[in-house]
Structures are given as structure tokens and as C-alpha cells.
Amino acid sequence: MWHKLFRPKWRHRNRDIRAEAIQQLPVDDPGFVAAVRQDPDTGIRRQALRRVTDRQLLQDIAESDSDASVSRAANRRLWYLLAQSDDAASIQQTLALLQQRGNPGLAEYMIRHSRSTMLRQQLLDAIRGPALLAEIALTDADTAIRLQALQRITRLSTLKRIAREARGKNKRVARRARELVEEQTLLQELPQLQQQLCDDIEQLASLQQPDHTTLHRLDQQWQKVGATAPEALKSRFSHARSQIRDAIEASRDSKAQLDRQRELCEQSEALLHDLEQQVNAPSLNLNEVEAAEWMLASSWQQLQQELGLLNPALEARFSESQQTLARRRRQIEQHRQLHAQQLAMIAEMQNLADDHRKLTAGGIKEIETRWQAQTPKPAAGMVKHFQQHLSRANQHLQANIASAAKLETELDARLQQLETALEQGQLNAAGAARSKAQQTMERLEKLAPARLKQRKSNFHRLLGRYAELHDWQRYGSDHVREELLGEMQRLIDSGLPPRELANNVRDLRNQWRKLDRKGGPAPEALWNNFNTVAEQAYAPVVAAQQRHQQQQQESAQQRTEFCDRLAGEYAQIDWSNPDWPAIDRRIQDVRTQWRKLGGVDSSSWKRLNQHFIDTIKPFEARLSEVRKAEKLRRERLIRQVQRLADDPDIDIAVEQTKSAQAEWKPLVSAGRQMEQQLWKQFKAAADAVFARRSAIQQSELQEEQANAAAKQAICEQLQQLKSTADGGWSAARKERDRLAAEWKTIGPAPRHQYKSLQQQFARLKRAFDEAEKAALNQQSRNQLELLLQQAELCDQMEQQLCGEGAADNALHERWTALPEVQGGAESRMQRRYQRILDASAKGGNTIDQLCAQQQENLDRSQQLCLEMELLLDIDSPEAFHDQRREWQLRHLSSAMTGGLAQNGNASSSVRRLVEESCANGPLPPEAAASIRERERNIIAAIQVQ
């Protein structure tokens, strides 16, 4: 019994209560599952299916539910869940459903909405409709699927539409669509094109000299479209092509023959032209010109023997050029012989003018006589050239005469200076005068050797006196050498550094040699003593050099051992799995260490450095391969990032760019210049991607700011709407709904404004709803209060009828003066007022019948007030507590489930009951006021839902 009284709400008899209770149950609650399977109302079951997440439950309901609408709803919910999941289980379940039921609608739905790329690819084969294939080719998120769908479309109009609509959205799809359009168009136009190609090649074959380029173009076009041509067309095309090739070959042979003849003519003319151009060039070799002329003539004769008949015009042209060439060559040869004779005489005159010894007046006259005797006369240029050398020879002759006189005077002065210096014992001055006098004598001997005989004897006499003075001078030089020997002895115990000591020894030796040059060689004993002391002073330098040499030898040994260790390291490396970064760092360290090792002599350095190069070469050979691979890898990264700059999905582009940055560091570095070049290119490509992202973000920010401004404008309109809605809440609500719909269409605002705008909009909506609710409540109360006023007037009129038999006219006037009540209550109250008017007019029994219903009407009104008080959950007068309790017991089930107060229609039900109570009829005078008072309390508690 109690399980019937206290059954759960999801099993309530009232549909609305049951629907609300089911919506509040968790989806894994057994009651919810039972309601989804067993609820008698199909609408409730369909509504509950929207919350189900168990795919097996949905599949069972779709297969077993007796109602078709519920089965369809379960199917749609199952499809939605399968589409939103991309795990393997969902894919297997989807494929199983397709195999079991063969539902084409499922395939179309999944290929439109599934998140699994693999599933959409598998389902694409089940799609047959060209419209759906076109939709997939234009809208699917995966480019591979779009291309796969595009490949299955054969309708030309659809392919054209896809090519047009995909332009600017997906380049690969648009490009492939255009290719398919071209292929389809070609297939449709193929027979006509094959026929046209045959006609074109036959027309080309009819020409006397067909064009090879046109044949090649037609041949290529036929290779593309001729494979499926009929045999007749193939035969026509092949025959015409053979004719054209034969004609081209014959034309080519004829042209080759003419080209050979024309080439010989051009070579002959070119040889003549070169001869004319180089006629005055010294490098022109007429023997070579004659040989080339003979070779051209021989080639023409050989061509004549091969071909027989030659082109007459070309033959005449060749003969004329050969004759002109031979004639011109002979003229040039004669001119050259004469020119050579003239040049020889000019050269003789030039040599005579330059040779002062041979320059005489007779020699000049002899060459001038031969020049004037030439026939024909020389050219003006040659004459001018000869006259220049002739004039220069005469000038030199006169200059030689004048110079000889001056040199004689100068030589006498030099000899006098020498004699004076010897008399005064000035050896240095005498040496200088001796040298100058000797130079002057040599110059005078070139100009006038006959005038030197007496002066030469005087010069030799002075040279003897100079030798005597020089011997006396040597004594002073030996004294200086003694001082140099003393300085050298002091260097032995000086303790100077080796470098400075070596410099001092070198300086003293240089001073000794200088004395030897000035004062003659030193005595042998003095020289041996000086040399012995110098060797003793230089001994520390020799010891230092020996130590330095020892250090160089040790450094050479270290470098050799260093190379040997490096070769051992190479042998120990596991080259099947090398640590390339460590090897690269090691080679860099090795190079640094090699530079820091001690110095060696130049001869050893060349050998050791080559040894080091040979030792490190295997490392570099292996590293170079890795460097090359790393360079190629990073070049691919650069190209990849450069392509990402045009990727439509900027988020993926940025993510892949960051991934490329993480992959950039090479295993082995290339050269510094190459590293800088690669990094510069990579950085430029990455910056382009990030710049594009910044531009998109800026655009999105501007769009979000515009959205925020639009939403703020809607909030302001909603704020104004609240204050201007007093004139008509119906129109205001329509405007409010329009603003709410517009709010949903506006995109997101900036993150820092989103929450505040949403809160402001929600607050304004609540304020509007509360204001509207308050206004409607007040409007409802006003209507019900007006209804009570009419009911009270009716009560007074009915009381007068029952007591006095007539109603006061003043009451009727007050009734007429009251405003009309809106809705169905007006007709009820009019019927009650009409009954009063009818009873007043008829009187007698009619009034008695009306008044006889007072107690019945009172019971009805009290019952109605009690129900209204229960519905609104307000207190009833104490006199009615028992009656209220009895009523509750009679309706225990509804009371326990809260149905009387929570069915959502309490206010409307109360308003209906108030209207019914006011229109009930006459009440006992003593009870009417209490009924109206209870009704006023009820009206005050009504709230618009």
C-alpha cells in the first residue's frame, strides 16, 4: 500500500511532474534507465534520450523500441556520440552498425560529423551521392579526404563548382579540381580533337616545306589523345607524319648543300674582310692568308666533285671573292717589301742618332742620299718619320760637339781637385775626386776619344800618388781595430741576453768589415785575434740556439705523439653509433691544442703539419658527411617554415615553426659563414610566420573589440528597454528576445571583458524579467481587485434583492462605472450580473430561486478558498483547519509529492479559482465579507510564474 502512496516522482501519474523528475535523475541511475525504456509517454522518453551517454543502451532502444519516433531519437543520439568520439571502440561500433544494418543515413551523418579522420576515410567508399561528395570535397577538415572525395566525382558541372568555390580556401583541392575539369573536358572533346589533329597534320603534309616545330607540337598533342583513336585516324596521322618527315629530310639535305656552298662563300669573303681590316697590322701573315685561300679553293673543288652541279649565283660569288683576295694579297705583299726597305733606312738613321760613337756627318749624309733615291716616293708618314730621326741625329751631332768641350773642361777641373787633395793628404776627398774624374773620362771617351791621350797620362800619374797616400792611411785603421777588439773582449763577461749579445757582436763585426773596405784588409794576426774573441763572446748565443733547437726537437716529438694519440682515438671510436657532437667538439679542441704546442723549425713544421692534416682527415671526412646531411636537413627545415608562412591554419603553422626551432641545433656545425647564412634564412622564415600570427591576432583582437562594443551597445539598449517598457510589456519582451538572439550571434569579446559583459547582460536580463514579473503581478492583482469590486457590488445587489425585493439603482450605476475586466472573467461576471437583472425584472419566484442558492454558493466558495489557500500554501482561518486536513487526506498522494504546489501552474489555477469564486452567485450576508477577505489575502499571495 505504501509503495503506491510514496512512489517516486519519475513514476508519478502527472506527466509534467514525471518529466521534471526524470530530468533530475543521474544518467546512471537505474530509475533513469527504466524510465528511458518503459515510460508510457514517448515525448518523455525522447527528451530523456538526449541525456543518455551509454552507446549500448542507445543501440538496444533503437533496435527494440516499439515507437518509431523513439527509435529514431535513439539512433540520432547514438550517431552523435559516435561522431564525437575518435577512439577505436567507437570506430568499430560504427562499422559494425553499418555492416549489420546497412544504414546509408549513418554513413552520411558520420562522414559529415565524425571527428575521426580514419573513419571518414573508410566511410568515403560507401558514399554514392555526387552532392554529398561535393560537400565533402569543399568542407572536410582533412585535405586528403577532400582530395579522395574529389577524385570520385565525374560530373563536369560539379567539378567546375568545386574548383570555383575552393579557390582561396584550399589550393590543393582547387588545383586538383581544375585538373579533373580539364581531364573531363578533354574526354568529352576527345573525338573532335582527334579528328582535328588528323586534319591539321594532313594540311601540314600538303605544304611544300612543312614546319618541323608545328609537326612536333601536333605529335605531342597526338601522344596525349591518340591512344584511344580509331585505327583509321591512327593510320591517317601516321601516314601524314611520314610524308612530313620525308619532306623535311629532303628539304634539310637541300638546305645543307646550299649552306655548305654559302658557308665557303662567307668564309672567303670573311678572309678578304679580315685582310682589309689587318692590312696595316704587323701581325698579318700573308703566308697564312695564302694558305687559307688555297684551302677554300680546294674545299670548293671537292664540293663540286661531290654535288656535281652547284648554285650558279653562289659559284660566281665565290669566284669573285677568290680573285679579289688574290689580287689584294699581291698588292699588300709588294707594299710590304717597299715598306720594309723604308723602315730599314729609318732604323739605320735612328741607330746612328742613338750611337754617339758612330754619329758622324758622313754617315748621316750617306743614309740621307739613299732615302732620296727611292722610287716611288715614300708615303708622307714615312717621310715625316725619317725626317724626325734625321733631325734628331743632326741635333745629337751638334750636342756631342758641345758636350765634348764641356767634358774636357770638367775633366781638367776633376784632375786638379784630385791633385790638390793628394797634396793636402785628404784620402777621402782624393778618392771622391778620383771617382768623378774617372766617370768624366769615360763619358768623354764615348764622345771624343781622340782628345783623351794627354789627360790619361796625367790621371795615371795621380793614381800612383793616391796609392801611396792610401798605404799611410791603413795605419790609422789598425788603431781603430784595436779598440773594436777591446769592446769585443768586454762582451765576453757582460751577461747580456742572447739576442742583445748577438746584435752587439754583429755590430762590431760590421764595423770591422767597414774598416776593411775603407782602409784595406787588417793584418792576419790582428784578424785572427779579433775572430777568436768574437767567437768567445758569441758562445752564449750559440748555447741559447742549441737549447732552442732542443726545445724545437722536443716540440716536434710532442706533435708526433699528439698525432699518434689522435690516430688511436679514431681507431677506438665505434663508428656504427658515433657521438657526432662529442666528436665535433673533440676535433675543435684538437685544432686548438695543435696551435698551442711548442714551435719547431720550418723544415720540420711542413712535415709535421702535413702529418696532422693526414691524421685529422679521416675525422673530417666522416664529419663532412654529417655536416652535409645536417645542412640539407636544416635547408629542408627552412623550406618547411617558408611554406608555413602561407598555411591557412596559423596555429598549426606556429606550432610546427616552434618544433622546427627545437630541431634546428645541428649535430655537427658547419663553417661560421655557412652557419650564419643558414640561420639568417631560417630566422627570416620563422619571423614571417610569427609576423603573420601577430597580424591575425591583431585582427582577431580588433574583431573581439568590435564584438565587445556591439555587446555593450546591446546592454545599453536593454537598460533603456527596462525604463521604457511600462507602455507595453509584450512589445518590450519581443525586443528583449530579439536583443538576446542578436547577443548569441555576436562573436566572443576580449578575455578581460568577456566575464564582465556576460555578467552585465545576465544582470540586465534578470532585472528586466523581475520588472516585467512585478508589472504583470501588479496588473493581475489590479484585474482581480476589480473582479472583487464587481463581486462585492453583486453581493450588495443580491442582498437587496433577497431582503427588499429590489436593488438600488446607485449600485447599478457604480457597476456601470467600473472598468471592464480582461479575459474570461468578464463574461462570468456579466452572466452573474445578468441573473441579478433578470431576477429584479421578473421578481417573485425568480428572486426566491436566486436567494435559495446562498448556502450552496457559500459551501462552494469556501471550498474554492480552501483549495486556493492550499495551492498557494498560505494559512486558512482556524474554523476551516479540520476541513483543510480532511481535504489533504483525500489528496494524500498529490500532497506527498508536492504536486499541488509544484506543478508549475499554481498561480494560473488560483486565478481561475478566484474568477470562479467571484462569479459563484449570492452568499449569505453574514459570510460574504469573510469570503471576500479570504479572496483578497489569496490575491495578495499570487505571483506571476
Q: How far apart are CA 920 and CA 716, in angstroms?
A: 49
pLDDT at site 904: 43
Look up residue 169 and give its three cell numbers: 580556401
Give per-residue pLDDT as tens, 479-497.
677 777 788 788 788 788 8
Average pLDDT score over residue span 694-714? 85
Residue matched to cell numbers 568520439 = 85
Torsion of CA 832, 836, 838, 844, to 10 degrees: 130
SS3 229: coil
Query: pLDDT category, 830, cuts 50, 70, 90?
Result: confident
Q: CA 336 to CA 330: how far, in whole Å? A: 10
* Mean pLDDT of the 39-53 span: 80
Q: 528583449: which residue's cell?
A: 736
Residue 135 is predicted with a pLDDT of 76
pLDDT score of 500:
84
Are 194 and 221 a contacting pair, CB within 8 Å? Answer: no
Helix axes 15-24, 42-49, angle to 10 degrees: 20
Most confident of 190-204, 293-307, 463-477, 910-924: 910-924
pLDDT band at 103 (very low <50, low <70, confident <90, very high): low
Of all residues in the chain, what percent carry a pLDDT higher than 70? 87
The pLDDT-based confidence of 124 (bands split at 50, 70, 90) is confident
Residues 6+ apart with CB under 8 A from 902: 17
- CA-based angle 314:319:323, to the nearest 5? 150
Contacts from 395-402 at CB under 8 Å and sequence distance 24+? 396/353, 396/354, 396/356, 396/359, 397/359, 397/360, 397/361, 397/364, 400/356, 400/359, 400/447, 400/448
Kindly state the DSSP code that residue 521 receives in the 8-state scheme: P
Model pLDDT, residue 4? 44
Closest by Cα among 860, 798, 791 to 830: 791
pLDDT in tens, 237-296: 888 888 878 777 777 767 677 777 777 788 877 877 777 777 666 666 777 777 777 877
Measured between alpha carbons, how far is 639 from 279 in angstroms, rounded to an integer?
Answer: 62
Task: Find out whether 328 and 276 touch, Cβ atoms under 8 Å.
Answer: yes
What integer is the mean pLDDT of 445-472?
67
Residue 168: DSSP 8-state = T
Q: 518 vs 498, which has greater pLDDT? A: 498
Q: What is the mean pLDDT of the chain?
A: 77
Give the per-residue pLDDT at 897: 44
CA angle, corner 136, sides to 130 and 138, nearest 5? 105
Secondary structure letter of residue 449 according to DSSP? G
3-state secondary structure of 309: coil
Q: pLDDT-derived band of residue 544, with 50, 70 and 90 as boundaries? A: confident
Q: How many CA atoms lie less than 13 Å away from 306 in the CB half-sphere?
A: 10
Mean pLDDT of 52-67: 79
CA distance 474 to 434: 19
> What cell numbers appear for 741 in the block?
538572439
pLDDT at position 739, please? 83
Give the tens place of pLDDT for each residue, 332-374.
Answer: 777 777 777 777 877 877 787 777 666 666 677 777 788 777 7
**More confident: 816 or 451:** 816
Q: Which helix (H) or strand (E) holds 407?
A: helix 380-424
Residue 543 has pLDDT above 50, yes or no: yes
- Which range, of 161-170, 400-409, 886-895, 904-913, averages the lowest pLDDT? 886-895
Burial class (CB in 10 A: 0-12, 13-18, 19+), 686: buried
Residue 6 has pLDDT above 70, yes or no: no
**Which of the listed ranges 21-30, 94-103, 472-481, 587-596 does the model predict with the highest average pLDDT?**
587-596
| Mean predicted confidence (pLDDT) in 440-451 | 68
The cell for 116 is 575521426
Per-residue pLDDT for 777 more than 80? no
pLDDT at 898: 45
The torsion of the CA quartet 379, 381, 386, 391, rounded to 10 degrees, works out to 130
Cell numbers placing 562: 699528439
Mean pLDDT calculated for residue range 366-395? 78
User: 188 pLDDT band (50/70/90 cuts)?
Assistant: low
pLDDT in tens, 601-628: 887 888 888 888 888 888 878 878 888 8
Give me the pLDDT at residue 283, please: 64
Question: For 177-186, 420-429, 813-822, which range has the lowest pLDDT when averaged over its residues?
Answer: 420-429
Per-residue pLDDT, averaged over 698-719, amounts to: 85
**Distance (Å, rounded) from C-alpha 134 to C-alpha 111?**
12
- Check: CB of residue 834 under 8 Å from CB of residue 785: no
Amino acid at 324: T
Taking the C-alpha atoms of residue 809 and residue 836, their distance in angstroms, rounded to an integer, is: 12
pLDDT at 881: 78
Q: Taking the CA atoms of 200, 206, 207 and 211 in sequence, report the sign of the dihedral they define.
A: positive
More reliable by pLDDT, 821 or 717: 717
Q: What is the pLDDT of residue 823?
A: 59
Measured CA to CA in angstroms, residue 271 lies from 279, 281, 287, 307 at distances of: 12, 15, 13, 24
- pLDDT higher than 60, residue 727: no
Provide the pLDDT for residue 450: 62
User: pLDDT at position 5, please?
Assistant: 44
Which positions ≥6 away from 351 have C-beta within 8 Å?
358
Write phi, then psi, for 749 (nearest 5 degrees).
-95, 170
- Rounded Cα gap, residues 384 and 48, in angstroms: 127
Q: Tell me how far apart the alpha carbons of residues 39 and 899 are, in angstroms, rounded to a whole number.
A: 19
* Residue 186 pLDDT > 70: no
The pLDDT confidence band at residue 728, using thresholds 50, 70 and 90, is: confident
Q: Rounded to whole angstroms, how far apart are CA atoms 120 and 135?
A: 13
Question: Looking at the predicted structure, is the pLDDT value of residue 1 above 50?
Answer: no
Q: How many CB atoms lie within 10 A of CB 934?
A: 22
Distance, in Å, from the CA atom of 182 to the CA atom of 225, rounded to the nearest integer, reads 13
Closest alpha carbon to 847 in 779, 892, 801? 801
Q: Rounded to whole angstroms, how far apart are CA atoms 129 and 230?
A: 34
Residue 815 confidence class, pLDDT cut points 50, 70, 90? confident
